[in-house]
Every structure is written in structure tokens, then in C-alpha cells.
Structure 1
């Protein structure tokens, strides 16, 4: 079951979200940037921005999730950008770009279509004209999947001093803009009605 959450819903699911994160990033948790507390600080920061959305996928337990927010004017998202693009492509107006900040699925449940379902659910019916995300260049399965879903290489970004350099990808054609079938709403951690 796919569920959409706002910031309060994200906080209500803190332990489950961190459990999935710790399993997906088990090999990197010793690095300060990937420490669970540091990860949660980033999520709290994302949740404060306009257009924040979290989509979770459950059977009995949480399988995975995706989340993001709309880049505000004067966004720091492009700080540390390495690439050759027109300068206006890096100037946000608060309406143009949705940033996908996380998309993860438990290792045992990967390669079963769950990542694509979360990806499409997060981006479906977004009002922004484009979306961006960061992926490690050596994360071949994720990078290959994104490119096959229509994303294109835009440049590279080192978002924080202690972060790795990521490939910056851009999507200019959002997924199907139809209704959100199969969604269970969730606001503030409380179940809501079926969307659309």
C-alpha cells in the first residue's frame, strides 16, 4: 500500500524510516555524513520547505519510501555545483523545480518494481515543471534505473563539505499526471481517505 504523508506524518514514522535507512546504508553508517542522526537532521530540514511530500510503501511493514520538496527562491541546492549549464538553470523561482531527496527500498525487496512505484507516486501530479535528484556515480543500479526512467545527467554536486560528489540528474517530463490510485492518505500520522 502506498501512503502519502506531510511533515507531521514523517515524524510519526520516524523509527520505521530510520530502520529502512540503516539497512539500506549499512555499509556507510560509520561516515559522519551518513550517520542516522545526521540523516534525520536533513529530513527535518527538507520537511520545512513548501511542497514537501513523503510517500511510503508498506505490506505489513515499511518496504521503502521516497520524499522531496520544492526548491525555494535562492535555494542552496545548487551550492557546490560542478558542470557547464546556463546560469539561469541554477536560479530557482520557488515554483520550477521539485527536488527528490530520498528514494530507498529495503535490499531484500529491491528489483521488484517498488522503487519505480515510489518514484512515480512521489512525482505524480506535481505542479513543478522539472525535478532533480542526486545519485552517487558508482551506484550503478540506481543510476541506471533513473536514466531508464527518463532522467538525464545535468552535472555534479557536492552538497556539503563532508558529502561525496554526486551526479545531478534532471527530469523534465513528469510521470503520468493521472489520479493517484491505490494511495492511502496520511496527515499527521492519522489515516485519511483514498486519493483521487
Structure 2
């Protein structure tokens, strides 16, 4: 664990002032993950995600420097989150109402601070306050470090999903009650 970490929760309005820092940490964390992980696409993603009802961000700083964060939002009845899901899935699995599933969209930590418990702390802090029945996240199959961390934190595999965006990878779909 890293000494001196400070956690803070933000809603979308409060987080607007942090967008440049969020992008900077994201690009640092994904520096070796290929062209999909670029500034333009990520800024677009944030612009689409932040206005969603219930969007929440938890950050961690050390000495005022943003070193990591996690964010997500509840899935509304008209969500597109499950588009591209691969069969078989349990009956009713993709049915949403805004209170059933909290989707974690990003969990990123600067490369210099990875593998020190920062991600787990962010994960636990965010989920400790959620009231949804379950949470979901997507992880690239080749991101074995993250995948094994999620599994050790109680997440389980359900299926795979390939989003409908250009050059999207096929992700593993994980669920946590």
C-alpha cells in the first residue's frame, strides 16, 4: 500500500474541472495498450458518460497529484452497454432499470503506482457506497493482471462482449453481486 493516499468522491459536475487530469492519468496507464487508448477517443467517452444519471468518480491523490481513479454509472433501461454481448447468457441478464446494475467504466492508476493496492482501494471505496443489486465491468482478455485482480476481488466471468465502435476489442464481461 502507498502511504499518503487521499480519496475523494465526485459527481459529474464537480469532476468537470478534472477532465484534463483524468485524461492524463488514463493515457499514462494505457501507454502500452495500443492506438485505441488515445486522447480524442477518451475525451469523447468521458463526454458521453459523465452526464449519465448517477455517474460517480472516486480519485486518489498523493501530495495533490492525481495517481488513479475509478468511475461508473447505473445502467438505465435504455442502456447500450450490453450491445454486442455474446450468447449464451442467463435469461433476463441484460434487462436494466437504473437500479439493477452499476457499470464500472474505468479503473486506472498511473504506471508508477500500479501493483501497490491503489486500484483495490479505489474499487472497494466506490462499490462500498453503491446500492445496485450487482456491478459489471469489461476487461480485455489479454489484460491478465487486471483480470486476475478482479477475480481475486470476487468478480466472476459471464461471457464476452464486443462493443459497436471502431476497432473495439472483445472484452470479458465480469459481474459482482
Q: Distance in 1 between matches of 2:43 and 2:60?
A: 19
Residue of structure 2 in register with 1:36 after alignment: 39
What whole-Å deviation, never above 9, does each CA across 1:115-157 have from its counterpart, x for those lacking one?
0000011111211000000000110110000000000001111
Between the aligned partners of 1:152 and 1:58, the Cα distance in structure 2 is 29
Distance 2:49 2:125 in 1: 18
8 A Cα contact 1:83 1:154, kept in partner = no
2:51 to 44, 48, 52: 48
The equivalent of 1:158 in structure 2 is 162
Separation in structure 2 between the aligned mates of residue 58 and residue 73 of structure 1, nearest angstrom: 34
Runs of 4+ with deviation above 4 angstroms: none
Task: Give RMSD over aligned pairs.
Answer: 1.2
Structure 1, residues 135-183: CA drift from partner, whole Å, max 9, x if none? 00110110000000000001111122321000000001xxxxxxxxxxx
Tell me what 2:60 maps to: 57
5 Å-filtered alignment, 1:38-117, equals 38-60=41-63, 61-117=65-121
Q: Equivalent residue for 1:13?
A: 18
Tell me the distance in 1 between the aligned counterparts of 2:159 and 2:39: 27
For structure 1, the 5+ residue unaligned runs are: 173-196
- Measured in 1, the distance between the counterparts of 2:163 and 2:123 equals 22
User: Which SS does the other structure have where 1:137 is aligned?
Assistant: coil
Q: Are residue 131 (structure 1) and residue 135 (structure 2) matched?
A: yes
* Aligned residue pairs, count: 170
- 1:76-130: CA deviation from partner (whole Å, max 9, x where unpaired): 1100001311231111111100000000111111111100000011111211000
Structure 1 stretch displaced more, 140-149 or 78-87 = 78-87
Quote the Cα distance in structure 2 between the aligned partners of 1:69 and 1:43. Answer: 12
8 Å contact from structure 2 (residues 27, 37) kept in 1: no
